[in-house]
Amino acid sequence: MNREIIIELKDEHRRIITLLNEVDMNGSQEKVKELILALQGIVVQHLHKEDTLIYPELLHSKNESIIMLGNGFLHSMTEYSVIFVDVTRRILESTNQFDSLLKEDYKKIKDKIKDRIFIEEKALFPVYEGLGEKQL
Structural domains in the chain (count): 1
The whole-number pLDDT of residue 136 equals 42
Mean pLDDT rounded to a whole number for the chain: 94
The whole-number pLDDT of residue 133 equals 66
Q: Exposure of 113 by Cβ count < 10 A (0-12 exposed, 13-18 middle, 19+ buried)?
A: buried
The whole-number pLDDT of residue 131 equals 86
The alpha-helical segments, DSSP class H, found in 23-63 are 29-49, 55-59
The whole-number pLDDT of residue 66 equals 96
Taking 70 as the pLDDT cut, the residues of the chain under it are 133-136
Give the residue numbers spanning the domain of 105.
2-134
The whole-number pLDDT of residue 134 equals 60
